[in-house]
Amino acid sequence: MKGIVFTEFLDLVEDKFGIEMVDKIITSSNLKSEGVYTSVGTYEFSEMLQLLTHLSENTNISIDDLLQVYAEHFFSVIKRSYSGILNMYTDPIEMLASIENHIHVEVRKIYPDAELPTFNVLEKTSKKLVLIYKSSRAMHAFGLGLMNKTFEHFNETATIEFEKLNDVATEVKFIINKN
């Protein structure tokens, strides 16, 4: 997992819960990196899972809720650092429908070894999008947070429902209806 995901996560934890919480979740975890991350480095997903688990335990906030809030924060990073990609779109449905064939292609140009989820479009109209998310990391809540922020970015609203297609949520169907 790319380091920017870790550095931004720890920045969010510090902003929301304080530097003491950052120290607490790092020292509670068994991290090969010892909690030292650079934005361009690559780290094991298990480290993120440990940090999330310890943050959840210390805040009584579910991991899915933490991931969704984190994704909303991470969208601001995308907006700040990769606005060129966002500016290519004028509609949230169009942008979300292009995750697999355009946005992830651009991400791989910047981070060639990034391990990204897949998003397959099942249905697309001007008002509705149905996607299948697949990832061994089961971070669909992060995707949901990014989707919510995408609509907000375009000053639009949507109802986004999801259905876990297996018990471990490595495959999730998103049904997005633009309001």
pLDDT at 141: 96
Show the tokens assigned to 95.
């942008």
- Sign of the alpha-carbon torsion through 106, 107, 109, 114: negative
Angle in degrees, CA 73, 112, 132, rounded to 5: 60
pLDDT at 26: 98
pLDDT at 7: 96
Give Rg (Cα) of the chain: 16
Inter-CA distances, 175 with 26, 95, 118, 121, 127, Å? 36, 15, 16, 10, 11
Averages of pLDDT over runs of 10 residues in the chain (179 residues) are: 93 97 97 94 94 98 96 92 88 94 83 86 97 95 96 97 96 97
Show the tokens assigned to 5.
């995901």
